């Protein structure tokens, strides 16, 4: 596939179509680059900001977030995420070019310029796909990164990036991912083995005996899981974790479906209503899609941010050490029936991609009971179950 930098719109649309038709996400090929952006209605400074300027901006961000917490204003909103997603989708429908407008926490609108097929002078990359990224409270306020602060997006917890791929220096084709895909037959065989290991494990047996799942079955309509990873990894640890986590999704569906069928308080129609399962992770490949959706019927793969848009009060949410602040997002946009995710600690300053927060802990303490998940840190990390009180 030949990729060239063109100046006219027609050729750029052709580039986008060629790239998208051959594009497949892969765990080893996940580089993103920030799009061009500007704060609307705010005069641009005549010179680059000094470190003192950046520190002053960050103090303003901290003050705004402190006010939001005091006034119980959600940091993330379902409408805000949906609005940005719809704008991105509209740009993609119009050839992969256009402006996406995002309201910052200070109320100022930031314009992100989406341009699929763009090449970069500083490296052999071409943009192939838009990506919405999420900034946790800590990431906007951490003094550790203040010298790298971008004043244009200092108040933005939703940011638009380009997913980029390498161009071969000689052919100008999109380069093949560094890690070649394993054959589907090998991936499927390994997954089937791990799935049977999980279902025969002591942890799975203990999970099936937990009352919290059966007690909540009547109000659960869907399961949404984030960051369970790709099973196409060649790394044994990574594919093992991913296989067990997807096995957990299947087990939860089985437990909840059986409990609903046995619940004498539900009508026949309610008992027979199917529990939907969705999974979201940018690492999924076509092989993952075929196995999870078609062969095993475990779940439907959704693109970011569609998984978040599915979360509501009738959902079981799963998340295991994601690269985005899943927990901060979820507790703001909904109050799910059950969450199974990284244990919430009294440490909101941890340098992690899915950090705790005082706001999150307040919501959990006020509405949820914590139940221990059968320990298996090798495959799930340090997680716990949080069930919403009736």
Which of 40, 39, 35 is closest to 130 using CA atoms? 35
d(CA 215, CA 212): 5
CA torsion 199-319-284-139 (nearest 10°) is -160
Residue 21's pLDDT band (boundaries 50, 70, 90)? very low
So what's the pLDDT on residue 124?
Answer: 83
Q: From CA 222, how far away is CA 273, in angstroms rounded? A: 10
Is residue 88 pLDDT above 90, yes or no?
yes
Of 115, 117, 120, which is closest to residue 99 (Cα–Cα)? 115
Q: Which residue has the tokens 């848009």?
A: 309
Query: What distance in Å separates the CA atoms of residue 380 and residue 232, rounded to the nearest whole number?
Result: 18
Say what the pTM is. Answer: 0.89
Handedness of CA 251, 257, 261, 265 (dihedral sign): positive
Name the pLDDT band for 3 (thresholds 50, 70, 90): very low
Measured at the CA of 102, the angle between CA 89 and CA 281, to 5 degrees, comes to: 55
Mean pLDDT estimate for the chain: 88
Q: Is 282 helix (H, G, I), strand (E, B) or coil?
A: coil
pLDDT one-digit tens code per residue, 146-200 = 999 999 999 999 999 999 988 877 777 776 655 456 899 999 999 999 999 999 9
Angle CA 24–162–115, to nearest 5: 105
Exposure string over 73-107, b if 16+ CB within 10 A, otherwise e: eebbebebbebbbebbeebbeebbbbbbebbbbee
Residue 158 corresponds to which tokens in the numbers above? Answer: 């939703």
DSSP three-state, residue 381: coil
Size of the chain in residues: 390
Query: Any idea which residue has 């005549």 for tokens?
Result: 46
Short-list 229, 339, 213, CA closest to 292: 229
Contact 178, 29 (CB under 8 A): yes
Q: Output the six-digit token pair for 284.
A: 């999924």
Q: What is the dihedral of CA 293, 213, 367, 353, to 10 degrees?
A: -40
* pLDDT tens digits along 101-132: 999 999 999 999 999 999 887 778 899 999 99
pLDDT digits over 332-381, tens only? 999 999 999 999 987 666 678 999 998 999 999 999 999 999 999 999 99
Query: What residues contact 24, with CB distance under 8 A and at least 6 apart?
Result: 285, 286
Backbone φ and ψ for 344, nearest 5 degrees, come out as -85, 125
User: Which strands sit side by side in the sheet containing 125-134, from one edge to the other?
Assistant: 32-34, 158-166, 125-134
Greatest alpha-carbon span in the chain = 71
Domains of the chain: 2-166 (no CATH), 184-388 (3.40.50)
How far apart (Å, rounded) are the C-alpha atoms in residues 199 and 87? 42
């Amino acid at each position: 596939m030949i990729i060239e930098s063109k100046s006219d719109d027609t050729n750029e649309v052709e580039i986008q179509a060629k790239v998208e038709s051959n594009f497949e996400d892969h765990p080893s090929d996940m580089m993103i680059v920030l799009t061009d952006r500007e704060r609307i209605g705010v005069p641009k400074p005549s010179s680059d900001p000094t470190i003192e300027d950046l520190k002053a901006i960050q103090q303003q961000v901290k003050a705004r977030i402190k006010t939001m917490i005091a006034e119980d204003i959600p940091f993330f909103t379902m409408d805000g995420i949906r609005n940005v997603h719809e704008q991105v989708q509209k740009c993609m429908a119009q050839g992969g070019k256009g402006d996406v407008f995002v309201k910052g926490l200070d109320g100022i609108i930031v314009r992100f310029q989406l341009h699929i097929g763009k090449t970069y002078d500083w490296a052999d990359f071409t943009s192939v796909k838009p990506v919405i990224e999420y900034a946790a409270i800590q990431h906007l306020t951490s003094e550790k990164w203040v010298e790298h602060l971008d004043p244009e997006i200092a108040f933005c917890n939703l940011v638009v990036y380009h997913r980029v791929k390498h161009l071969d220096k000689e052919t100008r084709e999109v380069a093949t991912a560094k890690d070649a895909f394993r054959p589907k037959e090998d991936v499927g065989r390994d997954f089937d083995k791990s799935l049977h290991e999980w279902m025969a494990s002591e942890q799975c047996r203990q999970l099936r005996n937990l009352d919290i799942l059966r007690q909540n079955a009547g109000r659960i309509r869907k399961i949404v899981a984030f960051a369970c990873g790709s099973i196409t990894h060649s790394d044994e640890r990574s594919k093992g974790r991913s296989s067990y986590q997807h096995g957990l999704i299947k087990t939860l569906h089985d437990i909840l479906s059986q409990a609903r069928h046995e619940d004498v308080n539900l009508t026949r129609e309610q008992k027979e209503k199917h529990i939907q399962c969705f999974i979201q992770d940018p690492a999924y490949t076509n092989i993952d899609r075929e196995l999870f959706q078609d062969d095993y019927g475990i779940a439907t793969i959704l693109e970011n941010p569609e998984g978040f848009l599915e979360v509501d009060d009738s959902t079981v949410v799963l998340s295991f050490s994601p690269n985005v602040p899943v927990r901060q997002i979820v507790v703001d946009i909904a109050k799910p029936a059950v969450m199974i995710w990284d244990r919430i600690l009294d440490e909101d300053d941890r340098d992690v991609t899915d950090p705790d927060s005082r706001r999150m802990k307040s919501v959990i303490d006020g509405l949820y009971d914590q139940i221990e998940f059968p320990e298996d840190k090798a495959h799930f990390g340090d997680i716990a179950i949080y069930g919403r009180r009736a």
